[in-house]
C-alpha cells in the first residue's frame, strides 16, 4: 500500500514541469492521426453531430454556437420508463416553426391579406389543429387572423407592400409549438438500461429546463456556452473537457483526461470561455515578444510601443528568442543567495 502510494506520488507533476506543452503535445500528436478517418455511425441519432477534427477545432476555438447543437433531456419518474409520457414531454419541447406547416401562401397586396394554406400531414404529425395555429399566430404576433378549413387568412391593416412582406417573414419564423431554439426533439431508448430520454437538435437548455417532467440535474447539451449561461463556468469547464474526450474517444484515441481538463481550465480560468487562438489565450500573453512571435507581429509591437510596455522575460518564447535559459525544468532553478553574499552569512 505504502509502495503504491509512493509510486503514485512519484508520478505527480513536478515543480516547474511544463504541463501546458505536455497537454498540447498529448492532444496534438493523436490529432494528426484523426484527420483522415472521420467516418461516423449514421442512423439512430436524429441529427448527426459534428465529430472528429472539425469538432475539436470548434471546441478549442470557443465557437459561440456549435455546428450541430444537441441536447440530451432525461426524464423524471415514470416518464423515463413510459414511452407515451415521454412522447408527450417531447411534444412540449419539439420546436415547430410556422414555415414547416405552410404548404402554400399567397399575399394579396391590393386587399392587404395573406392567405396561408396549411399542410394537413404536418399538422397531424405535430398534433395541431388549424384553429390552434391561428390563435397562436394571433397571440404571438398580434395579428388579425381567421380560419377556414386549412386556410388561415391574416388581415394586415395596411396596403404597404413592405409591411405585408415583413409580416409574412415574421409569420414563417414564428414558433407555433414547443421551445424556441430547442430543435427537433426525438424520444430515444438507451439499449442497455432501457431508460427513455429525449434528444433535441438544439441547445436552448434555458428553455428546456422550464418544461415540467424532466430531470433538471441531468440536463446536458454539447453547447458549452449554453451550459455556461445556465449552470456557470465550472459546469462549462467540465462540459468542455467532457466534449473533448467524447470526440477523441469516438475515434478511439486515448488521451489522459487531465490534459483535457488543463486545456478546459486554461480556456475558462477568466470566468468566460476563451479560445486558444489569437483572440483567446495566445493573444493575452503578458510578454510582447511572445505575442508578436505568434501572429500579427507588427500590430503587437506598435501597440506595445504606444503604451510603453515592458517585457519582463518571464515566459518561454521570449527567452528562447533572446537566447536565455528558459524558466522551465532545469532552468527554473536559481541561486537564492549570491556567492558574494555568502560571506556575509555567519554560521551559528
Residue numbers at the binding site for another protein (CB under 8 A)? 16-18, 21-22, 24-25, 298, 301-302, 304-305, 310, 316, 320-332
Q: What does the alpha-carbon distance between residue 280 and residue 57 come to, in Å, rounded to a whole number?
A: 13
Q: What does the alpha-carbon distance between residue 215 and residue 224 come to, in Å, rounded to a whole number?
A: 19
- CA 33 from chain centre, in angstroms, equals 24
Least Å from the CB of residue 80 to another protein: 47
Nearer to another protein, 26 or 245 (CB): 26
Least Å from the CB of residue 331 to another protein: 3
Name 259's Cβ contacts closer than 8 Å, sequence gap at least 6.
22, 23, 26, 27
Nearer to another protein, 64 or 334 (CB): 334
Nearer to another protein, 15 or 39 (CB): 15
Least Å from the CB of residue 214 to another protein: 45
Q: What does the alpha-carbon distance between residue 27 and residue 21 come to, in Å, rounded to a whole number?
A: 10
Least Å from the CB of residue 323 to another protein: 4
Nearer to another protein, 267 or 292 (CB): 292
CB-count burial class (<10 Å; 0-12, 13-18, 19+) for 243:
buried
Residue 71 gets which letter from DSSP?
Answer: E
Nearer to another protein, 21 or 48 (CB): 21
**CA distances in angstroms from 178 to 25, 181, 233, 290, listed in the order given:** 45, 9, 28, 50
Nearer to another protein, 30 or 213 (CB): 30
CB-count burial class (<10 Å; 0-12, 13-18, 19+) for 241:
buried
Place of cell 409520457: 85
Least Å from the CB of residue 308 to another protein: 10
134 in Cβ contact with 171 (< 8 Å)? no
Q: Is 117 helix (H, G, I), strand (E, B) or coil?
A: strand
Element (H, E) at 199: strand 196-200
Least Å from the CB of residue 280 to another protein: 19
51 in Cβ contact with 236 (< 8 Å)? no
Q: How many residues does the chain have?
A: 348
Nearer to another protein, 22 or 53 (CB): 22
Least Å from the CB of residue 307 to another protein: 11
Q: What does the alpha-carbon distance between residue 39 and residue 310 come to, in Å, rounded to a whole number?
A: 49
- Of 91, 98, 49, which Cα lies nearest the Cα of 73? 91
Least Å from the CB of residue 37 to another protein: 16
Nearer to another protein, 77 or 331 (CB): 331
116 in Cβ contact with 131 (< 8 Å)? no
Dihedral of alpha carbons 116, 122, 124, 128, sign: negative
Nearer to another protein, 53 or 316 (CB): 316
Least Å from the CB of residue 26 to another protein: 9
Amino acid at each position: 500500500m505504502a509502495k503504491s502510494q509512493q509510486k503514485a506520488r512519484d508520478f505527480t507533476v513536478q515543480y516547474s514541469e511544463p504541463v501546458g506543452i505536455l497537454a498540447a503535445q498529448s492532444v496534438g500528436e493523436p490529432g494528426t492521426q484523426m484527420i483522415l478517418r472521420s467516418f461516423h455511425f449514421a442512423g439512430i441519432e436524429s441529427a448527426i453531430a459534428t465529430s472528429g477534427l472539425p469538432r475539436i477545432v470548434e471546441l478549442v476555438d470557443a465557437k459561440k454556437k456549435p455546428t450541430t447543437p444537441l441536447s440530451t433531456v432525461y426524464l423524471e419518474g415514470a416518464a423515463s420508463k413510459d414511452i407515451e409520457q415521454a412522447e408527450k414531454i417531447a411534444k412540449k419541447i419539439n420546436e415547430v416553426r410556422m414555415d414547416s406547416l405552410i404548404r402554400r401562401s399567397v399575399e394579396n397586396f391590393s386587399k392587404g391579406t395573406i392567405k396561408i394554406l396549411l399542410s394537413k400531414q404536418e399538422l397531424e404529425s405535430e398534433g395541431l389543429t388549424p384553429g390552434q395555429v391561428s390563435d397562436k399566430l394571433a397571440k404571438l404576433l398580434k395579428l388579425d387572423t381567421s380560419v377556414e378549413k386549412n386556410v388561415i387568412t391574416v388581415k394586415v391593416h395596411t396596403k404597404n407592400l413592405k409591411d405585408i412582406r415583413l409580416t409574412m417573414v415574421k409569420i414563417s419564423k414564428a414558433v407555433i409549438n414547443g421551445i424556441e431554439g430547442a430543435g427537433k426533439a426525438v424520444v430515444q431508448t438507451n439499449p442497455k438500461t432501457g431508460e427513455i430520454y429525449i434528444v433535441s437538435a438544439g441547445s436552448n437548455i434555458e428553455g428546456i429546463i422550464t418544461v415540467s417532467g424532466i430531470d433538471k440535474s441531468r440536463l446536458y447539451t454539447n453547447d458549452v456556452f449554453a451550459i455556461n449561461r445556465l449552470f456557470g463556468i465550472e459546469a462549462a469547464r467540465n462540459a468542455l473537457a467532457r466534449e473533448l474526450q467524447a470526440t477523441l474517444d469516438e475515434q478511439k484515441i486515448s488521451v489522459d483526461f487531465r490534459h483535457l481538463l488543463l486545456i478546459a481550465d486554461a480556456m475558462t480560468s477568466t470566468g468566460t470561455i476563451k479560445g486558444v487562438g489569437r483572440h483567446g489565450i495566445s493573444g493575452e500573453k503578458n510578454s510582447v515578444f511572445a505575442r508578436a512571435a505568434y501572429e500579427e507581429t507588427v500590430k503587437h509591437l506598435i501597440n506595445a510601443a504606444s503604451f510603453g510596455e515592458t517585457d519582463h522575460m518571464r515566459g518561454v518564447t521570449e527567452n528562447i528568442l533572446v537566447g536565455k535559459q528558459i524558466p522551465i525544468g532545469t532552468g527554473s532553478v536559481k541561486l537564492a543567495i549570491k556567492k558574494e553574499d555568502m560571506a556575509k552569512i555567519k554560521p551559528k
